[in-house]
Structure formats: structure tokens, C-alpha cells
Amino acid sequence: MDSTLISAEQLMKLQRSEDARLMVFDCSFELMKPEAGAQQYRAAHIPGALHADLDTDLSARHGVPGAHGEVVVAQDEGGPASGGRHPLPSREKFAAWLSGIGFANDMQAVVYDRNGANYCGRLWWMLQWMGHEAVAVLDGGLQAWQAAGGAVTDREEPARFQSNFVIGPPRVELAGTQRVLAGLGQLGQTLIDARAAARYRGEVEPLDPIAGHIPGALNRPFTENLGPDGKFKPAAQLRAEFETLLAGRDAASVVHHCGSGVSAVPNLLAMRIAGLGPTALYAGSWSEWSNTPGVPTRQGAQA
């Protein structure tokens, strides 16, 4: 069972295996055009893959059109597990979604997108959070799949039988605002911000009410984990880059964040690949922090 990366060739072999219990997820999404991911999926996806939408499937609330075209926010009735623009659903609600699409505890999940693992990482992390180890990211995404000769289809996938997914102990750590606040300036916490450098420095902020970053946070844009081919860099290279960034800080103290807890996951995955995990995720991230009264913020380059 794979739990970090899987190549296109490995996935093809797994699909051919008669014994494989496999479910593939297309997590393609566009932050500024939320409907685009589903449209891209319908146009072309790996045969058999199901679409997992960031807003409607992997978050506790999502915008739906109202009677007059306005956006109405639908809340997770079970209560979200985090804050921010893309709050995590409760583990119980997410388990119900997994059961509804027929995903079972004995299955291998493979997740991919068209966006440099930005969005499929969310599902990878969430399955780990549910206690499910057998989930891997398709290295290089749909582009690598097609480059390797993998077929795509626009066919609508058939419905799956209901399963009974059982929640297990989390395999990843979820951090909240109060924990991050309490750890500011402490040796036991090292924050890594995955947003682009200009947003980290506070020069631009297209989405949240305050520009800048959490005091003391280090900046590593999530795109730095990928090589020119769109695949994750070799483990040794990732390890060297993170060790340079940490500059002697304990890797086990790392808490990852970004704008809304999504693009931070490629950093978390990269540290896992590099043998520097496990590390924690602040899922509410800057969108929750910047909406929390009284918390400190900073602008400018990291110290």
C-alpha cells in the first residue's frame, strides 16, 4: 500500500491488477473559478476516477447560488473541524461522504489534480486524518499520466455501492489557532508559510482582510517542491532545502500553513518524502488568523 507518491506507471500496473482494491480521485480545482475543476473533470479524467471538489466535498461549507444569484453559505451541520476559508468538515461528516461514494477501509486511494498537487494534497491529508494510510499522490498529476501514455475519458462514471467507512486514529496532526498563538516565539514550534512570497510579505492580499504573515513564520512557497517536470524533487534535494530553511530548528516542531490550509499540504508531503515528518497542519491558516481579533501580524521579509 502506497502512502506518499505513486508514478503514472505504477498506477497503470495497479489498475491492471485483479486483486487491487483501488479508487482514484480527480481533485482539480481553480480558486478564483470554483466551477472550473468539475468542468475539467467532465472534459477529461483518468478512467474510473471520481471527482472530489474542494468546496463541496472537502470543506465544511461552500457557496451555493441563491434565488437572486447571490452566494449563500451552507454550513456543515456537524460543525467544522477548523476555521478559515476552507474549513475542514467534521470527521463524521467526511466519513459519511466516503461511505456514500463507496470508499472502504481496505482500499488504496490515489489522488491527483492538474495544479501541481495543490488541491489533491488536501484529500491525501484528510484521508490520513481519518486514519487511512493507503493514499498516494499521483506524481506529476494528470499531465504526467498523459505523458506516460495513460488514457483519459469524458465518460460519466457509474455510481458506487454504499460502504461503511470506519474512522481510525489520525495519522496526521491538526493544529488550531490557540495552539499556534501559544507557541509563538517558542522553540517547540516552527511555522512554515506556503504562500507566494509577495503575499507572505504583505505586498498583496487578494482574499483575506489583512496582508502579511504570522510573526516568526518562515516562507516556502509550495511550488518550490516541484521540478521543471511538475513532479516532486528527489527526496535528498527536498531534505537539503528544508534543512537549509529550518537552519537547525527541529523538523518535528514544524506547523504548516498557507491561506486556507490547502496549499500548505504539498510542503507537509514534501517533508514526509524527505524523511522529515511527521509535521502538523494549521488548517485555518492565514484566513482564520487574520480574522481572529487581537492576534499579532507582521509584514516584510522573514527574519
What positions carry a catalytic annotation?
A: 258
CA 197 – CA 213 distance, rounded (Å): 10
CA 100/CA 160 separation, integer angstroms: 8
Amino acid at 246: L
Whether 183 contacts 248, CB under 8 Å: no
Residue 112 bridge partners (DSSP): 26
Report CA Rg, the chain: 19
154-158 long-range CB contacts below 8 Å, 24 or more apart? 154/42, 154/43, 154/44, 154/45, 155/47, 156/42, 157/48, 157/49, 157/50
The dihedrals phi and psi of 187, each to the nearest 5 degrees, come to -65, -25
Q: What gap in Å lies between CA 122 and CA 118, rounded to an integer?
A: 8
Alpha-carbon span 179 to 183, nearest angstrom: 6
Secondary structure class of 121 (helix, strand, coil): helix
- The helix (run of H) or strand (run of E) holding residue 77 is none
Query: Is the distance from CB of 152 to CB of 284 less than 8 angstroms?
Result: no
